[in-house]
Amino acid sequence: MGGIRTESARLYAQLGALLWRQGALNEAAKACQAGLATLPDEPAAPGERSALLQRLAMVEGVRSTYSCGMDLLTQSLELARQAGDALLMGAILHNMGYLANAQGQQEAARHYYQESLRLKEETGDIVGVIHTTGNLGLVALACGDLIKARNAFIQVCDLSRQFHMPALLAAALHNLGQLAYEQGAWVEAQRHLHTAIRLQ
């Protein structure tokens, strides 16, 4: 019975993720809550419970209820630790960084992203490394540290080219273009943005 419940929870988590990506926030929240309801009250299946809480947290984050989202992510992180799931921990810490940055808490965001990056590098999560490095660049940009921001975006470009990820490369080039534009480097900005457009 426990295996069936765990599998149901996984399916609800996947459904919640799909609905969240489509912008159907209420339906995504209901799917996650239904998944949590399938799990027994005792601390079983911490990985599945963590994944559901993480998705529910991001729904709350998009709704701008950041404190609720952060509380859910904190619970999710503890469950991921119990499950020994470093990949999931890296994803949760990334999302904590995202919510902290959205609240203007750049130092907290930097801390969460750096911890996320460390775990992603240890587990070989290349896509995760690229996403988190890019977000560290955005935090640096928000703090006015243009050199760190530029270096992060260039690193994302290099990794995206190395692993043949054109969509992530386009996003990094867009960020470099915006940075160049703000610095008055019009020719460089146009070059980056034109290249990003061609990759779309």
- Examine the domain organization and report whether 44 and 2 are in the same domain: yes
- Examine the domain organization and report whether 106 and 92 are in the same domain: yes
- Examine the domain organization and report whether 135 and 106 are in the same domain: no
pLDDT digits (tens, 9 = 90+) for 48-89: 888 888 888 888 877 767 788 899 999 999 999 998 999 999
pLDDT at position 1, please? Answer: 44
Higher pLDDT, 18 or 146: 146
Choose the final residue of a domain: 124, 148, 175: 124
Judged by average pLDDT, the poorest of 63-67, 121-125, 157-161, 176-180 is: 63-67
Choose the final residue of a domain: 71, 100, 124: 124
What is the signed CA dihedral for 74, 79, 83, 84, rounded to 10 degrees?
20
- Examine the domain organization and report whether 155 and 199 are in the same domain: yes
Number of structural domains in the chain: 2
What value, to the nearest 5°, has the Cα angle with vertex 85 and ends 82 and 86? 120
Contact 138, 147 (CB under 8 A): no
Tokens of 170: 């386009």
pLDDT digits (tens, 9 = 90+) for 174-200: 999 999 998 999 999 999 999 999 987
Choose the final residue of a domain: 108, 124, 140: 124
Its domain, for residue 32, covers 1-124
pTM, 2 dp: 0.84
- Examine the domain organization and report whether 116 and 130 are in the same domain: no
CATH number at residue 106: 1.25.40.10
- Examine the domain organization and report whether 8 and 58 are in the same domain: yes
